[in-house]
């Protein structure tokens, strides 16, 4: 098995993690190549990704085009999408080399050349005031929002910015898109869940929008944006049988009562 090792040099302590993984792979005579996040290549059959969720999102977008699964080794903060911590790396590598892992495809969104596994965030160019934003679905006007912006999210991204903005948590295998207003200046604006085959267009009365994909790729001051499901699917690797609900409870402390 050929393994990509992708690292983010802007993550503290990435060198220690990279050295540990490379040494463990060498000790097992595994075939691997290491790539900086900004210079990834499609070489291996699976990709170990060293970093936090942001690093994994970027690698997953890149490797989705070659249908290569990615496995996150968390050296960031939350690591919601990661499957391993650094102190588990030897057992993780053994499982991967023995092909003792599963994969899961995840919906991604696209707009022109931009891809998002988590979400598109749309705001006005003037970040210091609310904007009037128009929402159309399949060419039909739905509503307008006076708000700080909109979050158009996949189920994977529903536990990210959308959750912080009051959006719902969506089970990852559900084929749907959520549209969540950010701080709407009204009491009757609520998140909207639509089928994944809908075409979403967002415009601004000022005709000036700023768009970011997964908090990374950004377009400044555009007139409108059209978002739809991408033909590419992110492929995530999983090492254990923990359910989505277990991850919610363990990493987001979902529904856990406060202790004395």
What would the pLDDT profile of 128-145 be if each residue is shown by its tens digit?
778 899 999 999 999 999
Residue 123 is predicted with a pLDDT of 92
Average pLDDT over residues 72-83: 75
97 and 142 co-located in one domain: no
For residue 99, the model assigns a pLDDT of 92
179-193 average pLDDT score: 92
Same-domain check for residues 152 and 197: yes
- Clarify whether residues 65 and 126 are in a common domain: no
How would residue 79 be classed by pLDDT, with cut points 50, 70 and 90? low
80 domain-assigned: yes
- How far, in Å, are 5, 26, 52, 135 from residue 36 at the CA level? 8, 19, 14, 38
**What is the total count of domains within the chain?**
2
Are residues 223 and 140 part of one domain? yes
Catalytic residue status for 53: yes
- Out of 30-34, 60-64, 110-114, 216-220, pick the least confident: 216-220
Q: CATH code at 149? A: 2.60.200.30
What's the pLDDT at 252? 74
- pLDDT for the residue numbered 90: 92
CA 187 to CA 13: how far, in whole Å?
45
Q: Which DSSP string corresponds to the chain?
A: -EEEEEE-TTSTTHHHHHHHHHHHHHHTT-EEEEEEGGG--S-SSEEEEEE-HHHHHHHHHHHHTTT--EEEEE-SS--TT--EEGGGHHHHHHHHHTT--EEEEEEEEEETTEEESSEEEEEES-TTS-EEEEEEETTEEEEEEEESEEEEE-TGGGGTHHHHTTPPP--TTS-EEEEEEES-SSSS---EEEETT--EEEEETTS-EEEEETTTEEEEEESEEEEEEEEEEEEEEE-S---HHHHHHHHH-TTPPPP-
The whole-number average pLDDT for the span 74-98 is 82
pLDDT at 74: 85
CATH number at residue 47: 3.40.50.10330
pLDDT at 224: 94
- What pLDDT, in 10s, does the model give residues 230-244? 999 999 998 876 678
Residue with tokens 């995530």: 236
pLDDT at 202: 97
pLDDT in tens, 192-215: 999 999 999 999 877 789 999 999
Higher-pLDDT residue of 178 and 113 is 178
Indicate whether 21 and 88 sit together in one domain: yes
Among 53, 119, 148, 214, the active-site one is 53
Average pLDDT, the chain: 90
Does the residue 222 lie in any domain? yes
Domain housing 209: 109-231
Q: Is 218 inside a domain boundary?
A: yes
Whether 76 shows a pLDDT value over 70: the answer reads no
Together in a domain, 245 and 195: no
187 domain residue, yes or no: yes
Same domain, 35 and 130: no
Same domain, 178 and 226: yes
Same domain, 206 and 166: yes
pLDDT band at 14 (very low <50, low <70, confident <90, very high): confident
- The answer to whether residue 51 is domain-embedded is yes
pLDDT for 241 equals: 65
Confidence of residue 126 (pLDDT cuts 50, 70, 90): confident
The pLDDT value given to residue 88: 85
Contact 71, 42 (CB under 8 A): no
Q: How confident is the model at residue 259 (pLDDT cuts 50, 70, 90)?
A: low
What does the alpha-carbon distance between residue 40 and residue 205 come to, in Å, rounded to a whole number? 40
Look at residue 259 and tell me if it is in a domain.
no
Has residue 258 been placed in a domain?
A: no
Q: Residue 119: inside a domain, yes or no?
A: yes
User: Which pLDDT score, from 0 to 100, does residue 258 have?
Assistant: 62
Residue 203 sits in the same domain as residue 120: yes
Domain match, 34 and 91 both = yes
Residue 172: its pLDDT value, please? 93
Question: Both 215 and 140 in a single domain?
Answer: yes
């Amino acid at each position: 098995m050929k393994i990509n090792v992708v690292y983010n040099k802007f993550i503290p302590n990435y060198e220690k993690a990279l050295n540990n993984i490379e040494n463990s792979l060498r000790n097992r005579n595994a075939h691997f190549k290491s790539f900086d996040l900004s210079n990834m290549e499609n070489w291996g059959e699976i990709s170990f990704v060293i970093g936090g969720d942001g690093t994994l999102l970027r690698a997953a977008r890149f490797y989705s085009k070659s249908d290569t699964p990615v496995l996150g080794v968390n050296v960031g903060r939350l690591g919601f999408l990661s499957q391993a911590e650094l102190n588990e790396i030897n057992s993780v590598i053994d499982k991967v080399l023995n092909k003792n892992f599963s994969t899961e495809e995840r919906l991604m969104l696209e707009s022109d050349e931009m891809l998002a596994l988590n979400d598109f965030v749309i705001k006005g160019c003037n970040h210091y005031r609310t904007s009037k934003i128009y929402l159309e679905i399949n060419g039909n006007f739905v509503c307008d929002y006076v708000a700080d912006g909109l979050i158009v999210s996949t189920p994977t991204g529903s536990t990210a910015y959308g959750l912080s903005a009051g959006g719902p948590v969506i089970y990852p295998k559900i084929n749907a898109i959520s549209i969540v207003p950010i701080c709407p200046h009204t009491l009757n604006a609520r998140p909207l869940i639509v089928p994944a085959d809908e075409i979403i267009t967002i415009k601004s009365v000022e005709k000036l929008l700023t768009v970011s994909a997964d908090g990374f790729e950004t377009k400044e001051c555009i007139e409108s944006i059209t978002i739809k499901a991408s033909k590419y699917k992110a492929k995530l690797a999983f090492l254990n049988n923990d359910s989505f609900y277990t991850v919610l409870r363990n990493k987001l402390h979902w529904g856990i009562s406060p202790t004395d």
